[in-house]
Structure 1
Amino acid sequence: MRNKLFIAYRLLRSKKESRFISIVTLSSIIAISIGIAAVIIILSVMNGFESEIHQRILQLNSHITISLKESRSDIDTLIERLERIKEIKRVSIGYQLKGIIESNKKTSAVIVKSFNGDLFLQKINLTSIKRSEVIIGQELAQKMNLRIGDRLSLSIPNITAKGKVSFLNNQTFVIKKIVVYGLQDYDASLLFINEQDADEIAQANQFTKKISIDLFDIYQAKRITMMVKDIFDGKDYRISDWTEDNSVLFSAINIEKMTMTFLLFLIVVIAMFNVIVMLSMSIDAKKKEIAVLKTIGFNSLDICHIFFIQGMGNVLIGIFFGCLLGVTTLLNLDQLERILTSVFNLRLLPSGLYYIETMPYLIKINEISIICLSAIIISILSCLIPSFRAGKQDPSTITRFHNG
């Protein structure tokens, strides 16, 4: 094996008559490196955006939501049983209503939330909210031309048994705070009101409460949901976790990630064709050496191994530098952004996009491993084809050709 490695190394060394092969070899290594780096960078940035969206969604939403279809007399007992589950961090109860606000002769559909205690108020850095006060998103405030201290009118639609819609409990609220939630849907439609105000509105319109559950580990939501279902018997409730509630968004993100990864990985696949070309040219240029090796006792499989090692060596070098380039670029992404902004006046992120100042990224070792492993599998197939061709060379034919 050591002899094969040495011979493969000698074959890689450039001579005057094979200078072009060295250029092709270098270009294939560079192409593989760029392809691997591009896949790692794009995938990590998309992971960063996905993580950022997860955090912002969970900032204002519970991990598990139980919607009661009708009032239950044993609600306090059920909540006590939920609180005994060690994986559950917090249980709260409240309302989520749909309504319409009116101010400055403008109207807008909104989602009204008020959950027990200061659970969500803590997340938006506000310690208390009084009765007849409301918190709204920045985009909603801009659309309605509202400022802190302004008044707005809130109406909750009520659907009668005959299917008619009426607007009852028209109440006036004073804007306590305008906040940035970080997601356009929330900034344009979400508002918080005091718990007692929500109770009055909900009872007048015969709305039922929702139970919100926060977990210590958000990725245990599916398992805890099954445990909660065992506690709530009957069909008078609907239970969902945060992945279910946002399944369309997360599916779209995953499809985009898979599509981008596939398209960028094509760069690596194309680079593998350079490896095939390089090995084929190297075999043609080294026919005399192949004949000598076979004459001194090397068999076809040995020759195949030598050229396979030569090709895989180039690929592994390309993958290594690709990983190094990708990770280094990600770790210095902030500095790269500053350089592009100061020198070329180019911003990687448009101002105001999700209110993110710098490009987020999340490096996942398992994904990088899958990328590298996929590249190695493709390269094995790419190197085997010309290597087998080299092993089938007939030394007598090669010798006659060179002597002729």
Structure 2
Amino acid sequence: MIAGRYLRARRKEAFISVIASLTMVGVAIGVATLIVVMSVMNGFRGELLDKILGLNGHFTAYPIESKFTDYKETVESIEQVDGVKFAVYFVEGQVLASGRGSSTGVTVRGMDEENLKKLNLLYNSAEQGGFDQWDDSNGIAIGYRLAQTLGVGIGDQVQIINPDGAMTPFGTTPQIRSYPVTAIFNLGMVEFDSFFMYMPLEPAQDYFKLFEDVLKPGQEPLDVMASDEEIDAAYQRVPQASAVEIFIDDPDAVGLMRSRLQADPDLRPMVLTDWQQRNETFFSALQVERVVMFTILSMIILVAAFNIISSLIMLVKDKGADIAVLRTMGATRGSIMRIFSITGTAIGVIGTTVGLGLGLLVASNAEAIRAFISNLLGVTIFPPEIFFLTSLPSRTDPLEVTVVVLMALGLSFLATIYPAWRAAQYDPVEALRYE
């Protein structure tokens, strides 16, 4: 009751009440800022991880020792390994893509429709056109940012140039072909929407010359003087793939899954590269940034805790006579400490509660707030060219929110100890001497 009366404003103690109110606001701002920033950084990491692993897989397996002609059998064997969700084979190469007066380097991936359907993120992201009858389309699918760069739309021709073309007496000539755009996708990630191009598997194998000439069963090797007709009759062209993307149930269990894949006797020799190796620098930088931001923003709550100390010290000075009267009426030192501890802790509890509500509200509407401020000010906040994503993601982690709340409450309580102890040390005689 006494602690509550000390918190309520009166004309005489208006200044102290204003200090206490500002301290509550400081705690609330600190808690809300920490929750919002950590939620946005969690969302940023989660969205990037989902999109990167939605296309590139948790492992990329590259064949060694022989040409990768048994890619279908290899995928079937990989999918039998415990812990593997699915696997896809693909053809990949670097080319120069040209549209209406503009050119840019892109990565071409050749995949058949069966494997493309396994990549739900890509298959369901077509904004124009689609992947129906993909194997028979002989067209290409490009990201919407790449379409804007090249100035093309559905049905337009895109010319792709591969420097590793046909051998001539004058050297290697570039291979130039044109393909119609049959699908434009939007993955919401600048890297994929700007630099990736997909085409059906067989046209990609033909374009990159991923075939191996193998003697037909029962056919004897030909001598060096054999004609082209004899060579064509004796050999058959066996298609190859570039690599296999492997998707596993637990993205963090790459160490265990690497051991299982390498120990499986049914799998051909392969070099495995996991997603943590491919993106080690990027995600390590994100983790360091999260820790640094948490540490820096925690200083806001720490400053608010020091404000609690100063406001309580002023309150103790102002209530010296009240403390003396209470002591003469039989109040113990412990009772006096509890009064001022409850007063200071109440400031922290109220500020933390308000900050919790405000932080969760802002975090859950981060993208709407960003869009509103961007439209209001006429500037681009969170530009996708820098941050890779087209929207501001936010994912609130209950564990992190709990840590922030407990930290704020803990600092608020610790801040009350010294002022409450000083109040308990007041000598009633000295306090009432000049009253």
Q: TM-score range by the shorter chain?
A: 0.7 to 0.9
Residue 184 (structure 1) shift? 1.9
Map of 1:146 onto structure 2: 152
Residue 41 (structure 1) shift? 2.2
Deviates more, 1:362-371 or 1:124-133: 124-133
Residue 323 (structure 1) shift? 0.6
Q: Is the 8 A contact 1:136 1:179 kept in 2?
A: yes
User: Relative to 1, partners in 2 of residues 1:379 and 1:226: Cα closer, same or farther, differing over 3 Å?
Assistant: farther
Compare CA radii of gyration and give the structure with the larger one.
2
Map of 2:222 onto structure 1: none
The count of aligned residue pairs is: 389
Map of 1:214 onto structure 2: 247
User: Residue 12 of structure 2 aligns to a residue in which SS?
Assistant: helix
Once superposed, what is the RMSD of the aligned Cα atoms? 3.6
TM-superposition CA deviations, 1:189-234 (whole Å, max 9, x none): 2111221233342536998631212234545555434432333799
Map of 2:78 onto structure 1: 82
Map of 2:416 onto structure 1: 383
Deviates more, 1:54-63 or 1:116-125: 116-125
Q: Is the 8 A contact 2:143 2:197 kept in 1?
A: yes
Map of 2:185 onto structure 1: 179
Deviates more, 1:102-111 or 1:315-324: 102-111
TM-superposition CA deviations, 1:108-146 (whole Å, max 9, x none): 322121245433362444131447422222333333333
Map of 2:223 onto structure 1: none
Map of 1:62 onto structure 2: 57
Map of 1:161 onto structure 2: none
Q: Of Structure 1 and Structure 2, which has the larger fraction of its residues in helix?
A: 1
Q: Distance in 2 between matches of 1:29 and 1:302?
A: 24
User: Which residues in structure 2 correspond to 1:2-401 (within 5 Å)?
Assistant: 6-71=1-66, 79-102=75-98, 107-120=103-116, 122-125=123-126, 126-127=131-132, 128-130=134-136, 132-147=138-153, 148-155=155-162, 157=164, 169-200=175-206, 201=208, 203=210, 209-221=242-254, 223-231=256-264, 237-331=270-364, 344=376, 349=381, 356=390, 359-400=392-433
**Unpaired segments ≥5 residues, structure 1:** 1-5, 159-164
Q: Is the 8 A contact 1:104 1:145 kept in 2?
A: yes
Which amino acid counterpart does residue 33 of structure 1 have in structure 2? A
Residue 315 (structure 1) shift? 0.2
Residue 29 (structure 1) shift? 1.0
Q: Is the 8 A contact 1:97 1:156 kept in 2?
A: no
User: Residue 6 of structure 2 aligns to a residue in which SS?
Assistant: helix
Please report the TM-score for the alignment, with normalisation by the length of structure 1: 0.81
Q: Is the 8 A contact 2:61 2:270 kept in 1?
A: yes
Q: Is the 8 A contact 1:99 1:155 kept in 2?
A: yes
User: Residue 104 of structure 2 aligns to a residue in which SS?
Assistant: strand
Please report the TM-score for the alignment, with normalisation by the length of structure 2: 0.76
Residue 275 (structure 1) shift? 0.7
Report % sequence identity.
23
Q: Is the 8 A contact 1:94 1:114 kept in 2?
A: yes
Which amino acid counterpart does residue 341 of structure 2 have in structure 1? F
Residue 244 (structure 1) shift? 3.3
